Amino acid sequence: MKTIAEILALSTTFLAEKGVFRPRRSAEEILSLILGVKRMDLYLQHDRPLIEGELEAIRPLLKRRAAGEPLEQILGEIEFYHCRLAVTPNVLIPRQETEILVDLVVKKLNERPLAGKTLWDICTGSGCIGLGLKKALPQLSVSLSDLCPKALAVAKKNAEANGLDVDLRQGDLLEPFFGEAADFIICNPPYVSKNEYEALDPGVRDFEPKGALLGGERGDEFYERLAREIPPFLRPGAQIFFEIGEAQGKAVQEIFHSLPWRQSRLLKDWAGKDRFFFLEIE
Ligand SMILES: C[S@@+](CC[C@H](N)C(=O)[O-])C[C@H]1O[C@@H](n2cnc3c(N)ncnc32)[C@H](O)[C@@H]1O
């Protein structure tokens, strides 16, 4: 019988030969999942022999990873801004940039009283933005919306699993909120252009939903729609936060130029790239 250390080494070699990015990390995560232990325990229990049933459970997951499936989809969940979130092929895998956006918004909103204020997370996917914000700022009344019913079902499951009381709505952009207005609107819409989509890493293009990635021919079409459609949905002094593509800063600023704003700012991610757009309405 082979030990944990031996299987870890063999699995890492197998994944490396298949060209998997960070093969050891993938092997560790898959072994940890199947053995029901933390990654650190793989090393503390390195000489524990694995039984055939465990090996049988590990093999198909290694094959999926070798075929390029994202680790997060294989594991089925991720940690995001103090929430544990299920991830399925129907939702975008929440990215680190998006966690930075949530952190920026938390720091900004923390400065003011929030009781009775409403926040909408449009294009919610897994629910990561709205759920992270509800967890950090529980006084806010938070709504999550998405066009895709399957994505919204994941967001609902994530809200329940994290004990977060949010409102869920299905529909096209702002349509589910017709006749209402919000204090804060956050959106990470699909923003990849057609050419960028074709050039995406196959691990993203072949496994994550096209409808979560492709923004249109140019990529900035969702921002154009939002700029046109958003005004009646804003309370006085409302704040809007968007995630944007790293090359879209100027275009998005221009798109929103005609709104009556008090403050408008492009904010950068940790790599120093324009990644977030913030607007405060008069
Ligand atoms: C880039 S993903 C963002 C998911 C999540 N908010 C995140 O940050 O990880 C975009 C999401 O927008 C949704 N979507 C696409 N078109 C939409 C539309 N017309 N109205 C509402 N949601 C839409 C997709 O289903 C997808 O869940």
97 and 8, same domain (yes or no): no
d(CA 251, CA 12): 43
Q: Is there a domain that residue 154 lies in?
A: yes
> Among the three residues 68, 100, 120, which one is the final residue of a domain in this structure?
68
When divided into structural domains, the chain yields a total of 2
3-class DSSP string for the chain:
CCEHHHHHHHHHHHHHHCCCCCHHHHHHHHHHHHHCCCHHHHHHCCCCECCHHHHHHHHHHHHHHHCCCCHHHHHCEEEECCEEEECCCCCCCCCHHHHHHHHHHHHHHCCCCCCCCEEEEECCCCCHHHHHHHHHCCCCEEEEEECCHHHHHHHHHHHHHCCCCCEEEECCCCHHHCCCCEEEEEECCCCEEHHHHHCCCHHHHCCCCHHHHEEECCCCHHHHHHHHHCHHHEEEEEEEEEECCCCCHHHHHHHCCCCCEEEEEEEECCCCCEEEEEEEEC
From atom 4 of ligand 1, which residue's Cα is the shortest distance away?
A: 125
Q: Is there a domain that residue 82 lies in?
A: no
52 and 102, same domain (yes or no): no
133 and 226, same domain (yes or no): yes
Q: What is the sign, positive or negative, of the torsion defined by CA atoms of 122, 231, 246, 202? A: positive
CA angle 83/85/86 to nearest 5° reads 165
Q: Going by C-beta distance under 8 Å and a sequence separation of 6 or more, which residues neighbour residue 49?
A: 1, 2, 3
d(CA 206, CA 155): 22
Q: What is the sign, positive or negative, of the torsion defined by CA atoms of 243, 248, 253, 258? A: negative
Q: Is there a domain that residue 59 lies in?
A: yes
> How many other CB atoms are found less than 10 A from the CB of residue 46?
12
130 and 38, same domain (yes or no): no
d(CA 221, CA 253): 13
Q: What lines the ligand 1 site, CB under 6 Å?
A: 91-92, 94, 98, 123-126, 128-129, 146-148, 151, 172-173, 188-190, 211-212
Best of 147, 154, 200, 243 for a ligand 1 pocket test (most atoms within 8 Å of beta carbon):
147
Q: Give the CATH number for residue 28.
A: 1.10.8
d(CA 157, CA 151): 10
146 and 112, same domain (yes or no): yes
Q: Is there a domain that residue 79 lies in?
A: no
Q: Is there a domain that residue 148 lies in?
A: yes
94 and 226, same domain (yes or no): yes
Whether residue 42 contacts residue 65, with contact meaning beta carbons closer than 8 Å, is answered with no
From atom 17 of ligand 1, which residue's Cα is the shortest distance away?
A: 147
Q: Is there a domain that residue 80 lies in?
A: no
**Per-residue model confidence (pLDDT) at position 214:** 98
In 3D space, the residue among 180, 282, 172, 173 whose CA is nearest the CA of residue 227 turns out to be: 173
22 and 140, same domain (yes or no): no
From atom 19 of ligand 1, which residue's Cα is the shortest distance away?
A: 172
Which residue positions in the chain have pLDDT lower than 70?
Answer: none
**Per-residue model confidence (pLDDT) at position 259:** 81
53 and 92, same domain (yes or no): no
Measure 14 CA to ligand 1 centroid, in angstroms. 35
Give the position of tokens 């009775």. 116
pTM score: 0.95
In 3D space, the residue among 142, 137, 136, 94 whose CA is nearest the CA of residue 119 turns out to be: 142
**Per-residue model confidence (pLDDT) at position 112:** 82
Q: Give the CATH number for residue 141.
A: 3.40.50.150
60 and 96, same domain (yes or no): no
Measure 172 CA to ligand 1 centroid, in angstroms. 10
Give the position of tokens 């958003």. 230
187 and 234, same domain (yes or no): yes
112 and 194, same domain (yes or no): yes
Domain span at residue 12 reads: 4-68
Helices 4-17, 52-66: crossing angle, 10 deg rounding: 20
